[in-house]
Amino acid sequence: MDGFNTRAIHAGQEPDPLTGAVVPPIYQVSTYAQDGVGGLRNGYEYSRSGNPTRTALQECMAALEAPGIDTARGLAFASGLAAEDTVIRTVLKPGDHVVIPNDAYGGTYRLFKKVAEPWGINHTTAAVTDLDAIAAAMTPKTKLIWIETPTNPLLNIGDIAAIAEIAHSGGALLVVDNTFASPYLQQPLLLGADIVVHSTTKYLGGHSDVVGGALVVGDAELGEQLAYHQNAMGAIAGPFDSWLVMRGIKTLGVRMDRHNDNAEKIVELLEGHASVGQVFYPGLASHPNHEVAKKQMRGFGGMVSFRVKAGEQAALDICSKTSIFTLGESLGGVESLIEHPGRMTHASVSGSPLEVPSDLVRLSVGIEEADDLLADLEKALG
């Protein structure tokens, strides 16, 4: 199965052998009958350790992120942060060091600052766009370089292949949070990354009706280590959540094409509007990392951020005046969302080196009719 959309629909999702159902069943079960002591049927004994619905999702994720890598392994979790925490607990030990983005998702920063740091994990921030700064941040104790690309919420782009070289030359692994791009637009493992992280809540689920996370790795030994901790720590994706994410993945390609198209039209409006001071979107030729984005991405995604000339209150007012764009956190659903990162998704980085501009507005552009979205936003901008 070479085509992305074909893999999205079929990988890990053979018709049910009992009934021929074309969609994998929801195995809403906690335990499994054994054929004698230790006689497991297809390896299933307890659903924390393994569940057929979750297995189907994990196989699909591996096929999407790592086509052609026979040793690839996908792992599904209860949330994106549960997936991130499993990486930290698996790869790191007290005294180790991590390089993280200077404009990371607030929840990721909180995890490193408030949870991992007291455990003895040190971190340094560096811009994902600055290869020299990333290299300079490395120490003999650095075990991970952790990046987002595009970043949240400023949509900076890191050169995955170049950063992988920096990580590996220093004896570290590269983790790429691929949530904003999705595997349809970007496949970091094929560019040299070691671990891919997703919040499957976002584009993979795509319908704002499930919370989940995933890891995909190419190395079999690392995959086994992460799987051991997935089971030992227990923050696994439940069967119904796994089924919902698989349902969303089937239409990921067609949805992302529409997200891209709508976002480009929104960006054109914002670029020409008198009240907008700066637009952040990697598809813009003026974006400082546009050429890197063109090199490693299939499209530029549905996330758009912009700064308002009149300041914070004007940004807050815009967020309150839309009717089709819903004021809310999260992203990647079929419906469009608008938010004020400084007071919402990134409130946890207030006062830190990762604090975002107070006049910043972030859009998750959905798949509604573009003309309706443009009219709604134009009304809010005034």
Task: Quick: pLDDT tens for 315-372.
Answer: 999 999 999 999 999 999 999 999 999 999 999 888 988 899 999 999 999 999 999 9
Residue 114, φ and ψ in degrees, nearest 5: -95, -20
Instruction: In whole angstroms, give the CA distance from residue 100 to residue 64.
Output: 25
Bridge partner list, 278: 307
pLDDT at 111: 97
d(CA 120, CA 92): 10
Instruction: Note the pLDDT of residue 251.
Output: 98
Do 295 and 178 share a structural domain?
no
- Out of 223, 249, 275, pick the residue that ends a domain: 249
List, for residues 7-30, the tens digit of each pLDDT value. 999 999 999 988 999 999 999 999
pLDDT at position 302 over 70 = yes
In sequence order, the β-bridge partners of residue 173 are: 144
CA–CA gap between residue 11 and residue 26 (Å, rounded): 17
pLDDT the model gives residue 2:
82
Tokens of 209: 């009706």
**Do 38 and 52 reside in the same domain of the chain?**
yes
Provide the CATH number for the domain around residue 263.
3.90.1150.10
3-state secondary structure of 65: helix
- Does position 304 have pLDDT exceeding 90, yes or no? yes
Coil vs helix vs strand at 192: coil
Instruction: Write down how long the chain is.
Output: 382
Q: Say whether both 84 and 148 belong to one domain.
A: yes
Active site residue 202: yes
Q: How many CA atoms lie within 13 A of 79 on its CB side?
A: 6
Q: What is the mean pLDDT of the chain?
A: 97
Shared-domain flag, residues 92 and 219: yes
Range of the domain at 134: 4-249
Instruction: Check if the beta carbon of residue 275 is closer than 8 Å to that of residue 27.
Output: no
Domain shared by 359 and 330, yes or no: yes
Same domain, 175 and 242: yes
339: left (phi over 0), alpha (psi -120 to 50) or beta: beta
Residues 197 and 263 placed together within one structural domain of the fold: no
Q: For residue 194, indicate whether it is catalytic.
A: no
Q: Which pLDDT does position 69 carry in this prediction?
A: 97
d(CA 102, CA 126): 5
Contact 301, 327 (CB under 8 A): no
**Whole-prediction pTM value?**
0.96
Q: How many domains does the chain have?
A: 2
181/203 Cα distance (integer angstroms): 8
Calculate mean pLDDT across residues 33-37.
Answer: 94
Q: Is the pLDDT confidence value at 1 over 70?
A: no
Report the candidate in 232, 147, 159 with the shortest Cα–Cα distance to residue 196.
147
Measured between alpha carbons, how far is 17 from 117 in angstroms, rounded to an integer? 48
Q: Does 177 qualify as catalytic in the annotation?
A: yes
Residue 3 in this model has a pLDDT that exceeds 70: yes
Nearest-angstrom CA–CA distance, 113 and 319: 29
Amino acid at 304: V
Please name which of 197, 192, 185 lies closest in space to residue 294, comparing C-alpha atoms. 185
Q: Are residues 155 and 93 in the same domain?
A: yes
For strands 195-199 and 213-217, give the pairing.
antiparallel
pLDDT in tens, 83-97: 999 999 999 999 999
Nearest Cα neighbor of 222 from 10, 62, 13, 43 is 62
Q: 200 and 213 in contact (C-beta within 8 Å)?
A: yes
Percent of the chain whose predicted confidence (pLDDT) is above 90: 96
My answer on whether 330 and 345 are in the same domain is yes
Of 177, 194, 241, 376, which residue is the catalytic one? 177
309 and 377 share one domain: yes
User: Region 175-181: what's the mean pLDDT?
Assistant: 98
pLDDT digits (tens, 9 = 90+) for 211-262: 999 999 999 999 999 999 999 999 999 999 999 999 999 999 999 999 999 9
Last residue of a domain, one of 249, 275, 307: 249
CATH code, domain carrying 230: 3.40.640.10
Q: Which of 249, 264, 297 is the last residue of a domain?
A: 249
Distance of CA 140 to the CA centre of its chain: 28
On whether both 37 and 58 belong to a single domain, the answer is yes
Indicate whether 224 and 344 sit together in one domain: no
Question: pLDDT per residue over 86-133, tens digit each?
Answer: 999 999 999 999 999 999 999 999 999 999 999 999 999 999 999 999
Give me the catalytic one of 48, 89, 258, 294: 48
Of these residues, 73, 110, 143, 202, which one is catalytic? 202
Residue from 105, 109, 184, 281 carrying the catalytic annotation: 105
